[in-house]
Structure 1
């Protein structure tokens, strides 16, 4: 990883798993890191661990509840008021296969947290990203995006809900979003690139924090016998976020069998997720659901 001294990075969901490892390595390389966590107590414990390991690192914690778009707005407004150019936004946080629930605004939980909140956060922080040379948005998806599609007719899962199906939808949404974001950044000639990463099968608490019963047992067994470490999984998003010369729209994942484990390399998303017509339709829907529009944000930067 290149030296990150002088760069400001935000890592969502940095209190555990891939986010924690990502925040740690960025801070180790000299970046100023803003960790976000929904749970203040867990966030403080993670911050204490990092400060004990890296006493000279510039790390801070801010609470951010991605299940509430109002909280995303308040978090963003505070950063905009401070005015610090933002070099790196890592859209890492997520929930995986919980029982059906809804966010504060009434969106299905996985779709709301994994996609809509990061969509809103990215658009709101574009002025700060555009003020930094060589800035990036790195969005963390999953190889399970290959099983996904957008349930335009039932986004909330009110007619039919599958934990796996709606998780795959949210990860498919991440890919649609990140690739369309890069198209729009290029069209607007903004000095920001959008890239993607997925960790393969990494041993984190994501698989077990929201699951229950037989599914949780299955996930625990998989984590123990099939998964690579969280440290190894995080290398993919660190590569996407920091390797010099990476092109906008790049997707980084493991180079091993079925992209489950291995070293970071360029991988290819599901072909359907690269469809610009579908992406444009989905972008308009996301704008409607968040009450944000990319052109409006871009105009503020001119």
Structure 2
């Protein structure tokens, strides 16, 4: 925002009210997704937690309600690795319109072996990217019914140094867990930006914003028992790291701003203010490789063929 704007500066601790809005957060039972849900619930909106694990979702809702009196939170089953199950998500939401979906859920593995979804997709690419790609398509009727819906895709700083191999999206030829994870997050970010372009071309009122949390460590994250418990020892050991990175509560800030701030626009990239690693959220330049629209279009076509869903095929 311009410094001469009459709009007050964004304050991560004083969020605008959003009563009557409905937000879906995938992977909201832990980590950054939990804090996105907690912070959004403080606005008066209804926040729906999409989770594979009912027990963890219940624990997350209990924690949110203990910190946000009167919080309107509920959970729905969501398994992004099972594409056939996603068509039921629309019905389980039990709403006529959806004001935002935050694509946060993801899986990561530190070591081999390579794994696949039931559909035969490499698990990290299939869950982190293809699952969200297909989910967006299923949700588009509800998003289109909202006056100004947001699709917020949570990428990763790990994607900045990666490049997609469009001929080996499933890492069958060369699987390395950390690189495959980074590429799956890069694919998500390409998707979010390409979705924004296609929605603008179609004249849709929905907008797609891409964010990343910077460096977000468990050891710098405040406790939310039983969802997350930070030991004193862990806090002390990693205290110097707070000069460069932050906790997952702060990693949630760019996504929360992308949902709530009317100044954010489709096609933008938001991340932490200081070196893209820590601090309050700000818009940053789209990374040079993410600006390659030819790669984004090829990935879109491949993803549509793999999922049999086109998120830009708007209703009506």
TM class by shorter-chain length? Answer: 0.7 to 0.9
Task: Measure how far apart 1:280 and its partner are.
Answer: 1.0
Gaps of 5+ in 2: 1-14, 220-233
The equivalent residue for 1:154 is: 168
Secondary structure of the structure 2 residue equivalent to 1:263: strand
Pair 1:45-2:59 in alignment: yes
- My pick for the range that moved more, 235-244 or 6-15, is 235-244
Per-residue CA distance 1:43-65 (angstroms, 9 max, x = gap): 11111111222341111011111
Partner SS for 2:121: coil
For the 8 Å contact 2:136–2:311, the answer to whether it is kept is no
Q: Does 1:288 align with 2:302?
A: no
Matches within 5 A, 1:257-296: 257=275, 259-294=276-311
Q: Does 1:245 align with 2:257?
A: no
Q: Which has the higher helix share?
A: 1
2:244 aligned with 1:230: no
CA RMSD, Structure 1 to Structure 2 (Å): 1.9
What's the CA shift for 1:83? 4.4
Q: Residues 83 and 51 (structure 1 numbering): CA distance in 2 closer, same or farther, change over 3 Å?
A: closer
The CA distance in 2 between the partners of 1:8 and 1:284, in whole Å, is 30
Match 1:84 to one of 79, 87, 96: 96
- C-alpha separation in 1, matches of 2:193 and 2:67: 36
1:109 to 123, 135, 142: 123
SS of equivalent to 2:115: coil
Secondary structure (helix, strand or coil) at the match of 2:282 reads: strand
- What count of residue pairs does the alignment treat as equivalent? 281
Is 2:138–2:311's contact at 8 Å kept on the other side of the alignment? no
Distance 2:267 2:198 in 1: 11
Distance 1:143 1:32 in 2: 29
Q: Runs of 5+ in structure 1 lacking a partner?
A: 206-219
1:58 aligns with 2:75: no
Shift of 1:77: 4.3
**Pairing of 1:110-259 with structure 2 (within 5 A):** 110-204=124-218, 224=238, 226=241, 227-257=245-275, 259=276
CA deviation map 1:15-39 (0-9, x unaligned): 0111111111111110101001111
Query: Do the aligned partners of 1:146 and 1:269 also contact (CA within 8 Å) in 2?
Result: no
Whole-Å Cα distance in 2 between the matches of residues 39 and 55 of structure 1?
24
Q: Distance in 2 between matches of 1:36 and 1:186?
A: 27
**Structure 2 residue 30 is matched with structure 1 residue 16:** yes
In 1, the alpha carbon distance for the partners of 2:95 and 2:262 equals: 25
TM, length-normalised to structure 1? 0.88
For the 8 Å contact 2:268–2:286, the answer to whether it is kept is no
Q: What's the offset of the Cα at 1:123? A: 1.2
Q: Is contact 1:76–1:121 with CA below 8 Å preserved after alignment?
A: no
- Provide the C-alpha distance between the structure 2 equivalents of 1:72 and 1:145, rounded to a whole number of angstroms: 26
Contact 1:18/1:204, CA 8 A, preserved across alignment: no
- Normalising by structure 2, report the TM-score: 0.84
